[in-house]
Amino acid sequence: MKEKKLKEFEESLESGILSKEEYEERKKEIEAIVEKMPEEEKIEEKTEEKNVQFKSDKALVIGIVAVLLVLAVILSLPYFTKEKPRTIDDLHELNLKGKLKPEQGYVYNDIYSFVKFDGLWYTQFLSPQGSRFYNIQFRYGPKDVESVKIKGFLNAGILNNATDYYVTFNPTGKDFASVALAVGDFNEHMTKIFFKKPIAACDRNETLPCKERPIITCDNTDKMVLYVKEANATKVSYGNNCITVEGSGFELVKGIDRVLFNFYGVIDDK
């Protein structure tokens, strides 16, 4: 480039287009430009190298991320492909092998397998007559209610020989929903497992529905009685033929489960 330009300037000088001074000035300009050119080329070259390095680093990062994603998929396959328990029996099988978390299931007193399924606790029992095998549900597990102590004694003869029993409560109470839930849970076990029929009663005749019902307390009958009372403290007591459960809200349900665990022999109060 330098030689070509200088030759052009020399021809212009010879033809008189450029003066001697103009020729020298143009010569200096072209030499200055030529001297700068190698630096610019180096800069361009370095820039190109940086771009190549950046692209190479980017490709490396993408490659590493892709490898990690593949590894993550491979490692997670056992979790997604592992067959999850679908039935209560599946859960009991895992529970007996010690493969459930404590909040999912446990073996109580080294005998009874309790598993949680859809928010309820299940265990397996033979009926008192030994004729049927049941998956029985509770709202609480035995560990949840074992702190509730039962005072007094229940006449085993009355319990075993009864074909029906009274269910009584205060019809003027404030938490009928909790009372009804507790009574409903108790009745389900008594009718389906113990084959005893509930008789609805009231402890006082102060409402219209109670006019058609027997008025029953623990003191005016020799038949088996479940007496559900609304109270601040949770208590369970036996009195010969009468079972009294006291509490508020779901504590009444907890008291009922405590009685049922005693009936089934899961929690022994001796």
Indicate the average pLDDT of the chain.
83
* Confidence bin at 3 (pLDDT 50/70/90): low
Number of other CB atoms surrounding residue 83 within 10 Å = 6
Beta strands 112-117; 120-126: pairing state: antiparallel
Lowest mean pLDDT among 37-41, 184-188, 218-222: 37-41
Residue 11 has pLDDT above 60, yes or no: yes
What is the separation of C-alpha 77 from the centre of its chain, rounded to a whole number of angstroms?
Answer: 21
Q: Evaluate whether 93 touches 115 at the Cβ level (below 8 Å).
A: no
d(CA 186, CA 253): 9
d(CA 270, CA 267): 9
Decide which of 35 and 258 is more confident. 258
- Give the pLDDT confidence of 94-118 residue by residue, as tens digits: 999 999 999 999 999 999 999 999 9
SS3 readout for 126-154: ECCCCCCEEEEEECCCHHHHCCCCEEEEE
Check residue 45 and give its pLDDT: 46
Check residue 129 and give its pLDDT: 64
* Confidence bin at 80 (pLDDT 50/70/90): very low
* Average pLDDT score over residue span 3-9: 60
Residue 125 has pLDDT above 70, yes or no: yes
Decide which of 254 and 58 is more confident. 254
Q: Evaluate whether 252 touches 260 at the Cβ level (below 8 Å).
A: no
Give me the sheet containing 242-247, strands edge to edge.
150-154, 235-240, 242-247, 225-230, 164-169, 197-200
* Average pLDDT score over residue span 228-244: 96
